[in-house]
């Protein structure tokens, strides 16, 4: 009987070890001893409950170890797959609940950031391979830290370009604001990097060309998941939202400013300091997109100097939208002389555009949409 009980219980344990819980194990052992005592006391049948009890305890230990190893392996896999590209807080949440990680592909609303260095060829000219590698590490490290500290996910590095996104693989609360804060931190980090490079170059009697960055922000649905081939794949994003973020980075060149965001991002984070740039039609898109320049954070948005700046800017934009190009050009010229660096460059570009339109004269089919010809 003992041998039969042992084989029966062990077979059940190997088939479904998770069924033997910490609470059920002592109850089962106690039941065996109680049953053996009852049979001996009332029926005169002697059964040894020790072997079945040992089988139950052994099965429980086997199941517990098996489950522990499976959970540990799943957590290790998550950390290896995402630890270098996802914020530590998000990795911890993924490791605790790996079942939330949807493999394959899914459609999610993401905030997408695309950044790129300006004039990288000019910066790298004259640098040795070692010096260029050091420069790229000094540039990408603070940029990556800024993204990860705001719970973003690094999609990939493309030379000096960075593609990142928010709200995947886990839900990130208030992700558009976190992306905007990351962009502002990246701007500050680049200023610090240029300062350090200038000081190092001055100490050696050389000149260091300052680095400039362009950055595009967009918000919308994306396909996110394991992308690639059956031999190699990465957790990545695809979709029109991603393409537009890249085009907005390119639009920042035309406006001579560093951070350009879509209207969707501005509407999701309206309490930051924004400047309306109007509507543009980027390369590859038939529909125009409303774009905004990011001037500063929320504390700046309530400052008197910014409020006056924005009112003058909006007045200039109204003159332009109404087709009064000379008045718009005068407004842009006045702003170029009054705003702090590096913003005069934006208004120099706008003044040139407005004066060019004034020379052409108003046309019946005129549109305020700016058709950009380059990426």
Do residue 69 and residue 188 come from a single domain? no
Do residue 354 and residue 282 come from a single domain? no
Which pTM does this prediction carry?
0.77
pLDDT at 185: 98
Structure tokens that stand for 17 in this block:
């070890």
Overall average pLDDT of the 343-369 stretch: 90
Do residue 57 and residue 119 come from a single domain? no
Helix, strand or coil, per DSSP, at residue 150: coil
Give the CATH number, domain containing residue 225. Answer: 3.30.70.1230
- Number of structural domains found in the chain: 3
Model confidence at 11: pLDDT above 50:
no
- Asked whether the beta carbons of 228 and 178 are under 8 A apart, the reply is no
Summarize the chain as % helix, strand, coil (round to 5).
55, 20, 25
Model confidence at 328: pLDDT above 80:
yes
Model confidence at 258: pLDDT above 90:
yes
- Residue finishing a domain among 280, 297, 314: 297
Quick one: which of 341, 344, 317 has its CA closest to 331? 317
How far is the C-alpha of 154 from the C-alpha of 141, rounded, in Å? Answer: 12
Domain that holds residue 328: 303-375
- Residue finishing a domain among 247, 264, 297: 297
Do residue 170 and residue 126 come from a single domain? yes
How far is the C-alpha of 127 from the C-alpha of 141, rounded, in Å? Answer: 19
Model confidence at 348: pLDDT above 90:
yes
Quick one: which of 321, 330, 327, 326 has its CA closest to 358? 326
How far is the C-alpha of 345 from the C-alpha of 280, rounded, in Å? Answer: 18
Do residue 105 and residue 240 come from a single domain? yes
168 located within any domain: yes
Q: Which of 7-16, 55-64, 165-174 has the lowest mean pLDDT?
A: 7-16
Cα-Cα-Cα-Cα dihedral of 258, 260, 266, 269, to 10°?
-40
Using pLDDT thresholds of 50, 70 and 90, give the confidence band for residue 14: very low
Do residue 150 and residue 212 come from a single domain? yes
Overall average pLDDT of the 65-90 stretch: 62
Overall average pLDDT of the 247-276 stretch: 97
88 located within any domain: no
Cα distances from 339 to residues 118, 278, 312, 336, in angstroms, run 23, 19, 11, 6
pLDDT at 18: 46
Do residue 293 and residue 359 come from a single domain? no
Q: Cβ atoms within 10 A of the Cβ of 151, count? A: 22
How far is the C-alpha of 237 from the C-alpha of 165, rounded, in Å? Answer: 8
Q: Each residue of 128-176: pLDDT tens digit?
A: 889 889 999 999 999 999 999 999 999 999 989 999 999 988 889 999 9
pLDDT at 227: 76
pLDDT at 139: 95
- Asked whether the beta carbons of 219 and 237 are under 8 A apart, the reply is no
89 located within any domain: no
Q: Each residue of 17-44: pLDDT tens digit?
A: 444 455 566 666 566 667 666 666 676 6
State what percent of residues in the chain have pLDDT above 90: 55
Do residue 132 and residue 208 come from a single domain? yes
Do residue 324 and residue 293 come from a single domain? no
How far is the C-alpha of 54 from the C-alpha of 82, rounded, in Å? Answer: 42
235 located within any domain: yes
- Residue finishing a domain among 270, 297, 324: 297
Quick one: which of 78, 104, 102, 81 has its CA closest to 92? 78
57 located within any domain: yes
pLDDT at 16: 46
Element (H, E) at 221: strand 212-228
- Asked whether the beta carbons of 152 and 87 are under 8 A apart, the reply is yes
Do residue 311 and residue 288 come from a single domain? no
196 located within any domain: yes
Overall average pLDDT of the 96-124 stretch: 80
State what percent of residues in the chain have pLDDT above 70: 72
234 located within any domain: yes
Quick one: which of 4, 68, 34 has its CA closest to 12? 4
> Going by C-beta distance under 8 Å and a sequence separation of 6 or more, which residues neighbour residue 22?
60, 64
Model confidence at 260: pLDDT above 80:
yes
Model confidence at 371: pLDDT above 70:
yes
Do residue 286 and residue 309 come from a single domain? no
71 located within any domain: yes
- Asked whether the beta carbons of 233 and 104 are under 8 A apart, the reply is no
Q: Which long-range contacts (CB under 8 A, 24 or more apart) does 358-364 make?
A: 358/325, 358/326, 358/329, 362/323, 362/325
Do residue 154 and residue 239 come from a single domain? yes
pLDDT at 24: 61
How far is the C-alpha of 285 from the C-alpha of 313, rounded, in Å? Answer: 27
Q: Each residue of 214-256: pLDDT tens digit?
A: 999 999 999 988 777 766 667 789 999 999 999 999 999 999 9
By CB neighbour count within 10 A (0-12 exposed, 13-18 middle, 19+ buried), where does 155 fall? buried
């Amino acid at each position: 009987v003992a041998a039969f009980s042992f084989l029966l219980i062990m077979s059940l344990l190997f088939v479904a070890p998770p069924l033997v819980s910490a609470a059920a194990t002592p109850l089962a052992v106690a039941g065996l001893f109680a049953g053996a005592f009852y049979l001996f006391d009332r029926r005169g049948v002697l059964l040894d409950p020790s072997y079945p009890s040992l089988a139950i305890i052994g099965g429980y230990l086997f199941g517990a170890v098996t489950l522990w190893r499976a959970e540990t392996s799943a957590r290790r896999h998550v950390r290896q797959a995402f630890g270098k590209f996802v914020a530590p807080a998000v990795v911890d949440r993924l490791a605790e609940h790996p079942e939330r990680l949807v493999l394959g592909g899914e459609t999610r609303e993401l905030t997408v950031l695309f950044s790129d260095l300006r004039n990288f060829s000019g910066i790298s000219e004259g640098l040795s391979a070692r010096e260029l590698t050091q420069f790229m590490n000094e540039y990408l490290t603070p940029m990556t830290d800024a993204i990860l500290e705001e719970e973003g996910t690094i999609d990939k590095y493309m030379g000096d370009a960075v593609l990142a996104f928010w709200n995947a693989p886990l839900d990130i609360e208030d992700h558009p604001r976190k992306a905007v804060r990351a962009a502002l931190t990246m701007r500050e980090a680049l200023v610090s990097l240029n300062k350090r490079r200038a000081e190092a170059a001055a100490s050696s009697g050389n000149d260091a060309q300052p680095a400039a960055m362009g950055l595009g922000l967009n918000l919308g649905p994306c396909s996110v998941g394991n992308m690639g081939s059956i031999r190699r794949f990465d957790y990545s994003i695809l979709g029109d939202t991603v393409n537009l973020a890249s085009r907005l980075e390119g639009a920042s060149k035309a406006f001579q400013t560093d951070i350009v965001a879509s209207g969707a991002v501005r509407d999701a984070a309206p309490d930051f300091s924004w400047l309306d740039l109007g509507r543009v039609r980027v390369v590859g898109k038939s529909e125009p997109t409303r774009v905004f320049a990011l001037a500063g954070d929320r504390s700046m948005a309530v400052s008197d100097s910014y409020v006056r700046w924005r009112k003058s800017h909006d007045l200039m934009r109204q003159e332009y939208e109404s087709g009064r190009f000379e008045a718009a050009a005068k407004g842009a010229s006045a702003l170029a002389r009054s705003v702090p660096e590096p913003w005069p460059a934006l208004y120099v570009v706008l003044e040139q555009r407005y004066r060019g339109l004034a020379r052409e004269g108003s046309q019946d089919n005129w549109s305020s949409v700016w058709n950009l010809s380059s990426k």
